[in-house]
Amino acid sequence: MNRHRSFSGVVADHVVLIALSIIFLTPFFFVLLTSFMTAGEAGTRAFWPTSWHPENFVAVFQKLNLLRLYGNSFMYAGLATLFMLLSSIPAAYALSRIKFKGSRLIFVVIVWAMLLPPQVTTVPLYVMWAHLHLTGSLWPLILPNLLGDAFSVFLLRQFMLTIPKEYSESAKLDGCGEFKTMIRIIVPMAKPGIAASAIFLFFAAWNDYYGPLLYTSENPNAWPISYALATFRTTKNVNWNYTMAASLLAMIPVIIIFFAAQKVFVQGVTLTGVKG
């Protein structure tokens, strides 16, 4: 009886969360079940497959050349994330720890850059990359991260502001310069914020469709998996069983990465302050 009441109490206390979980998970299960159907059954109102066809995943893997697409996506997302961290961490450290003239103005400009739609700069940037003969590849999407990412700088700065200044001041008293203090003191303490920024950018790059459409549409060898899925749906006349199977295969790496880094990611998001 106590167990029944305890279970009922847990359900009552979390009824909203349970309802939201069902709402968010229902589309995923729909995709999963459809991926095991035949092409004819996937186009009907059937929710549960009458027969299971795991060979859909093998067919999709072969038709899409997923190994190449995975490689392109990992190159794009991985290098973009690495370059962002190399440029954004020093910028965030300077804005959060070093007092210099114009730092407030620079921070305001960074916030403005976050609000600027990417379509505004599409034409001049495309012309620039075309003159550099880099169109038809993913490099126009990767290289700009060497100059930092506005959202990442903002997020990292806010996180670093939550780290007490006494730590960096003690390091400087021991003879550490700014660079040494950043590497040895601030970066290890800011690992949750760094992980959150890295995961945000990695997922954004992995799911990016507009950028690859703009720069790689004429070169199938450079397509990431996000863009290839859209063209696959068109060329296969919307065979939903194959489309859903391909979508699941595209989600597997990011699901694994998220759950592997879930603890530090959530910690980084929840601890990021809002100090100005």
Question: Which superfamily does CATH assign the domain made up of 65-271 to?
Answer: MetI-like (1.10.3720.10)
- Residues with Cβ < 8 Å from 209, sequence gap 6 or more? 226, 227, 230
pLDDT at 245 over 80: yes
- In which band, very low, low, confident or very high, does the pLDDT at 11 lie, cut at 50, 70 and 90? low
- Section 241-247 average pLDDT: 88
pLDDT, position 12? 64
Q: Where are the alpha helices (DSSP H) in the chain?
A: 2-13, 15-34, 39-42, 55-64, 66-97, 103-115, 122-131, 139-142, 150-161, 165-173, 178-181, 187-189, 191-206, 210-216, 225-235, 240-260, 262-271
pLDDT, position 1? 45
- State how far the Cα of 232 lies from the Cα of 238, in Å rounded to an integer: 8
pLDDT, position 164? 87
pLDDT, position 140? 95
Least confident of 98-112, 122-136, 207-221: 98-112
pLDDT at 235 over 90: no
pLDDT, position 173? 84
Domain boundaries, the chain: 2-56, 65-271
Q: Are the CB atoms for 240 and 43 separated by under 8 Å?
A: yes
Q: Are the CB atoms for 199 and 84 separated by under 8 Å?
A: no
Question: 144-157 burial, b for 16+ CB within 10 Å, e for fewer?
Answer: bbeebbbbbbbbbb
Least confident of 12-21, 43-52, 68-77, 191-200: 12-21
Identify the residue whose tokens are 């992980």: 195
Q: Tell me the pTM.
A: 0.83
